[in-house]
Structure 1
Amino acid sequence: MRIHPLTRGLAVALICTLPALPAMAARFEVQGGVSYMGSPSNGYSTPAAFGEVIFDPNQIGSSNFTWSPDVTAGWIDGRNIPQYNANRYTTRDDIWLVAGGARFHYGPTNAWYQPFFLSFQPAVHTGKTQALSTVYEFVTTVGYQGNHWSLGIRHISNGSIKEPNRGETMVVAGIAF
């Protein structure tokens, strides 16, 4: 498997900064889940794991919206689906990715709905598959952030920049420190 030089550089930078991130971060999460290529009904599921660092929230102006810098590193296991073996992009590559963006919340800290969040992150990754066919992807997560846990739906896709673009959609559950 060939690793893109930019991906390799970002991975090295992340590995070098990982020891310092929890000290600077408000929250560190270890997440696991099941990822589906395309539709969950097709049965093309595989395990996925992520580490996510969410920094202290910042209020957006005088609104009730807050945003937090959000850095994610993760892995999505490859699949062996014979019908794609003859295609340019198979499903066998493991995906290792690094993403960075923002997590948004709405409401005062004591509001029942404030723990719900939406995050957007551009990502770079290794491997190319039927689901993720470019080096650059977009990560969108909708979820709930409890005190020491999280639950979310995450979608990773290239936004139809290039085909094939089946995307990875996953359910992730996390433990927070």
Structure 2
Amino acid sequence: MLSASSRLRGALALLLATAALPAAAAHLEIQGGRSYMDAHGANTAFIETTFAPHAIGSSGRLDWSPDISAGWINGRDVNRYRHAEFDTSHSVALLAAGARFHYGAPDAWYRPLFFSFQLAGTNQTTQALSSHYQFVSTLGWQGEHLSLQIRHISNGGLNGPNRGETMALVGVGFDL
């Protein structure tokens, strides 16, 4: 099993490698919001980059873009989980990579809506994120410089309690 410092070094290497991708086709966002495990909230922040879209099929109405993100979810003090195997006090850093999907003609009113799916690695296990590997699904709207998103992160029942984190995010972005 990799140590936390080895995982973080690997995550940093992945972020630096993606910085070498063609910058002209990248959109960088800084996102912040509130995440909930059950009814217990915590602050969260992400940096997310999406790259140039690629058409799926010949019609060109459905496309996907490579999508990477690095995030932080604050810990929370929940008394009933203080001495549990998976507690809630630790903050979690994560690195995720996957794809963002859009549908419709370039000028369609619904074109800014998107769905993304990513696989993530985390540095900590908690009551909400009880393994080091997670699934990230996001439904959102992306304008030129503003985005609104609902994101859920969970291990899909692979290990532990699998409560997951569900968050609302607001992002400010720009094209590189």
In structure 2, what is the Cα distance between the partners aligned to 1:174 and 1:18?
20
Which of the numbers 146, 155, 161 marks the counterpart of 1:158?
155
Matched with 2:11 is 11
Matched with 2:131 is 134
Query: Are positions 1:82 and 2:79 aligned together?
Result: yes
How many positions carry a matched residue from both structures?
Answer: 171
Query: Are positions 1:50 and 2:54 aligned together?
Result: no
Q: Shift in Å at residue 136 of structure 1?
A: 0.2
Runs of 4+ in 1 over 4 A off after TM superposition: none
State the TM-score, normalizing by the size of structure 1: 0.91
1:57-77, CA deviations, whole angstroms, 9 ceiling, x for partnerless residues?
111011310100000001000
In structure 2, what is the Cα distance between the partners aligned to 1:152 and 1:21?
25
Which of the numbers 91, 96, 104 marks the counterpart of 2:93?
96
SS of alignment partner, residue 14 of structure 1: helix
SS of alignment partner, residue 132 of structure 1: coil
Query: Are positions 1:145 and 2:146 aligned together?
Result: no
In structure 1, what is the Cα distance between the partners aligned to 2:28 and 2:117?
17
Matched with 1:35 is 35
State the TM-score, normalizing by the size of structure 2: 0.91
Q: Shift in Å at residue 10 of structure 1?
A: 2.4
What code does the residue aligned with 2:120 have? A
Describe the shift of the 1:58–1:128 C-alpha distance in structure 2 as closer, same or farther (beyond 3 A). same
Describe the shift of the 1:36–1:167 C-alpha distance in structure 2 as closer, same or farther (beyond 3 A). same
* Unmatched segments (≥5 aa) in structure 2: none
Describe the shift of the 1:124–1:104 C-alpha distance in structure 2 as closer, same or farther (beyond 3 A). same
Q: Is the 8 A contact 1:52 1:70 kept in 2?
A: yes
